[in-house]
A and B are shown apart, each in its own frame.
Chain A
């Protein structure tokens, strides 16, 4: 079972929720895996305090021009869809930060003047946080290419329960995270901002064909906004967490929600059972 936790909008509490689900389930499920796929700003470690033991550097292949062979024909620069090469007539300049590693320049170079050199885009770190197998992707600052890192991190999903903490937004890095997961839990807050971004996230998850449900965080006045939307879209509201200064304050110190008050542990276990049911129903509908 792979559950992705996403939100559209940043700062809604994705990481709080994702880490709490993991902590609540870890005691009954040995070998639970938590993967922080927010490679731009991974934060799960702040709440889970893993001992990181293993790091794997992730590279993409970027072009290197052999100036002795290059005839400056300009074919590589013409072909590159990402403007990562510039041919000036007597030299070819490469911009590795724009390169997506497609390898087109190398393949099409008529003189075979292009070889590849690895460029580090980030790393995947692994370790243990008590019983939880923890992994995170960490994008190199200044690199603009998250998806390959997300894919590498995701490949570490275990056979039992895996919780994926997604990046905010609705574009490539999130899509790479949510795609192919069994369920996507969408965290929102009851404000017009929250609603606007929830709607974008729901459309994204539906495009991917992943079943989803909603968790309302910081619930206070205005919750009807989200309830009305969910009724219209036939989305289950699986849980709601009240707006509380106590929770916000614990969060600011990196204390997970399930450690603030024991009751949350049971509530998150219940949440998981509910998700299991929804996933089972979904599968039955397909068969």
Chain B
């Protein structure tokens, strides 16, 4: 486990077995600039052409706000669902042995590999009122496809591996003895889970949550088929960006994108802060 004392924390040159720190840092910065910073600053630059008042008018437009609310809201709900079930899944995969475990373990990664549009079409086929699942829910009055619930389903699908894959290795690190020690000291099972195990998993869980959330906010392909795309009801922000582009309105499109970027960045910042706090508090986590 990486351990840094506070005295070495701000040291610029860290001793390492891998040689060429200067070169490695140079490559890192160049690569990041080329691949991430230049495209993103292009985005900011293009939207800055609008001027502040127009930018605010576009960003606070009712439809934009609505689309952003739907995008961030559904992504949040989906990430919460993924956090809960991702941890359970990781738990099962780490702690139990059963036939077909490796297959299930591999299946977790499928949403990474599948083109999201394909996932979207498949999910819509299942959840549409005449689909396998949709036709069972329809008599109960539950509508999934073509409602915000459909967006959540799609985002749960694409976000699932993020939580499982970040929690899994940390869970493997927690020794079984910790649980046994808690049990011998008289803790109930609930206490063992809530006081001993979960705090240690919190940083990793939050990382997975943040990744799934960020992915959900930006997701387009899988959502566009299942959402129904009704303005003010199930129109996501990425679709609104596409709509602005279809109007050849590049500045408005980049304005919405810039707002999304800003909100996402702030949320990641908050989550990172919580994470580093809990890492210091509990000491677990990669």
Q: Do A and B come from one complex?
A: no
